[in-house]
A = this chain, B = another copy of it.
Amino acid sequence: MKKKLTLKQIAKELDVSVSTVSKALRDSVEIGEDTRQKIKAFAKLYNYKPNNIALSLKNKKTKTIGVIIPEIVHHFFTTVISGIEQVANERGYNVIICMSNNSFDKEVINMEMLANGSTDGFIMSVAKETQQKGDYHHLLEVINQGMPLVMFDRVIEEIECDKVIIDDTVGAREAVQHLIDIECKNIALITTVDYVSVGKLRTQGYQEALVHNNMKINEDLILKVEDFDNSEEEIRNFLSGKDIDGVFAVNEHFAIYAIKAFHENGLRVPEDVFVVGFTNGELSKQFIPSLTTVSQHGAEMGAQAARLLIRKLESEEGEEEPYETIIVETSLIQRKSTKR
């Protein structure tokens, strides 16, 4: 078991000083040609690699990005991570991922953990519970310490920082407009409770589309799912017996549960009723019928977030770049669930 090689060991072996070794490896002109060659050859032979921790301590930079997300077993978040990873790696950054499991406490603990030197900055989507509580002290503290923070997807308006979002309202409006265009008259909305920001915004988009087309908003056609674990049943109950010819759901699962509920009631999608979802996951693509849905371009969001963060990290002290909010365009992907 060979322990990792250090500058000190090389120095001792070659009978020079540590500083000489360091300089030689960094091609300093201070070091004579022959000793430099000798040192480099030795380092290469024994595969010397500088210790990242020591470098981090010295440079006060870790070259790693902390990512905090509510959960990872969720297609949208994995695509975002994928985008972050790619950009980060290109620029020589590592990515350290923590999950809050939608718990406020875990979010706080994770942030404090990573903020103590492990990370140069954060990319995060806040936990549902955090949005509900409205307690953002951990975020403010991190920002106050001078660590850049980029929020994506579930962002908090009151917090000043870089943000990467989609225009949930517009995405939803376009989805509902599509339903209207294909002549739906009674369009139901299946959404989340209002404190989930994206749910609220998408609800708003739904309403805007109706208003814009002079259709009236019928509260009976709106379901705000409280408990995700029982959403399938909630949706089934909600849908039964209602006269509906179109459904807009704020995520894949709700959309699919709706389709299943219709099936049970002898209604077919798309023959009898149209359905549009949100998030272009594997389910939307593979389900039968394949699902018309609003794509959020997760990888693109992740990439943008990473770019934003790295820009902040690498900007010179003075430059004080202003905070930016990037809106990634959504696109409506039309599939079988809205085609006759």
Chain B: minimal CB distance from A283 (Å): 6
Contact in complex: B82, A117 (CB < 8 Å) = no
Q: Are A94 and B113 interface neighbours, CB within 8 A?
A: yes
A339 CB → nearest B CB, Å: 17
Check A14 for interface membership: any CB of B closer than 8 A: no
Contact with B along A40-81 (1 / 0, CB 8 A): 000000010111111011000010100000011111001101
A145 and B98 contact, Cβ closer than 8 Å, known pairs A53-B53, A75-B73, A282-B282: no
Task: Evaluate contact between B96 and A145: CB separation under 8 angstroms.
Answer: no
Does A180 count as interface, using CB distance less than 8 angstroms? no
Flag if A114 contacts B94 (CB, 8 Å).
yes
> By the criterion CB–CB under 8 Å, are B94 and A3 in contact?
no
Of chain B, the residue at the smallest CB distance from A77 is B78
Report whether B116 and A256 are in contact in the complex, using a CB–CB cutoff of 8 Å.
Answer: no
CB-contact partner of A117 in B52, B89, B281, under 8 A: B52
Contact of B51 with A117 in the complex, beta carbons under 8 Å: yes
- Asked if A87 lies at the interface with its beta carbon under 8 angstroms from chain B, I say no
A214 within 8 A of B: no
Contact of A4 among B1, B145, B256, B282 (CB under 8 A): B145
- A118 interface contact, C-beta 8 A: yes
A134 is an interface residue with CB less than 8 A from chain B: no
Q: Which of B79, B81, B145, B263 is close to A3, meaning CB atoms less than 8 Å apart?
A: B145
Q: Which of B2, B53, B71, B288 contacts A288 (CB 8 A)?
A: B288
CB contacts (< 8 Å) of A89 on chain B: these are: 98, 106, 110
Query: Is A112 part of the binding interface, using a Cβ–Cβ cutoff of 8 Å?
Result: yes
Interface contact B288-A286, CB-CB below 8 Å? no
How far apart sit A112 and B115, CA to CA, in the bound complex (Å)? Answer: 24
* The 6 nearest A-B residue pairs measured at CB: A53-B117, A52-B117, A96-B96, A51-B117, A73-B78, A1-B146
Q: Chain A: residues with CB nearer than 8 A to chain B?
A: 1-4, 47, 49-54, 56-57, 62, 64, 71-75, 78-79, 81-82, 85, 89, 94-99, 106, 110, 112-118, 141, 144-146, 253, 256, 260, 263, 281-283, 286-288
A-B contact pairs, 22 of them (CB 8 A): A1-B145, A2-B145, A3-B145, A4-B116, A47-B141, A50-B116, A51-B117, A52-B116, A53-B62, A53-B118, A57-B57, A72-B72, A72-B78, A73-B82, A74-B78, A94-B96, A94-B98, A95-B97, A96-B96, A96-B97, A97-B97, A260-B288
Given contacts A72-B78, A73-B79, A94-B96, 15 further A-B contacts (CB under 8 A): A2-B145, A52-B117, A53-B53, A54-B57, A54-B117, A64-B96, A64-B118, A72-B72, A72-B81, A72-B82, A85-B97, A85-B98, A95-B96, A96-B96, A286-B287
